Structure 1
Amino acid sequence: MSPYTLLLVEDSEFITQHVSQTLESKHGFEIETVPTATGTRDALEDGSFDCVISSYELPDETGIDLAASINGRTGSPAVPFILFTGNPLESLAEEALTSGVSAFVSKSSHATGDMNVFANRIRLTIQAHE
């Protein structure tokens, strides 16, 4: 089985480096990174990804707005989309789910260490979409 290819959308260089290195070296994912929603759309036009993982707060729009622009507001998402946020999830959940977000991951509890829970959430989200 070939590794899953992920698009990580995060404007923090520190978080981008830590998350991408850990998911590649410890979990075998292939990672491409972009810092903005605009960069995400460009990357999706140029390549194929098994999943998009996006920060909620981006320089040019929110991760929820990005999910809606990629996956639309109805039907099954075209690409699995994980919202990666430090914000409380409860206040975002309803809008996020209707905007094409497939799953949520908390930055505070899952962006440290070996990220086993984060990697598992990614795999499960992709497999549910297949």
Structure 2
Amino acid sequence: MKISQSNTQADSKYIREQLIAYNRGKLPKELLTDKETINFNVYNDMNKMVAGLTSTMFWGRVHVDFLWVDEKVRHQGYGSELLQKIEAYARDKNCTMIHLDTFSFQAPNFYLKNGYEIFGKIEDSPKGYDQYFLSKKLK
């Protein structure tokens, strides 16, 4: 046996596929749905995207990968509307929770105001900032 460094897409894909196969063998059948990407976007009158949310649904839950709102239209409710859209979508698909992460220089208070709860925190990472992990149970 030997350990070697590899930065190829093929190796990354193989490792990912092996872990997914292992996980599928451990989970109950009702959780074994295909991974789905769900995005919602906000466009202005000139059809320019000014906000968007990307997410991934798997195992009966949704992970918000990215939520971005252009600085020119912040504090107008678009971020909350995007969260409401993904929450409604997740409920329709019988998901039980949504989770995400954010940094102290981003928007932890925004997510708290939208009903998310902090379940984890990494302090001083990156240096001088904290990373928060939040979730919201869906009913």
TM range (shorter): 0.3 to 0.5
Task: Tell me which of the two structures has the higher relative contact order, counting C-alpha pairs closer than 8 angstroms and 6 or more residues apart.
Answer: 1
The structure where strand makes up a greater share of residues is 2
The structure where helix makes up a greater share of residues is 1
TM-score of the pair, normalised by structure 2: 0.32
Larger Rg: 2
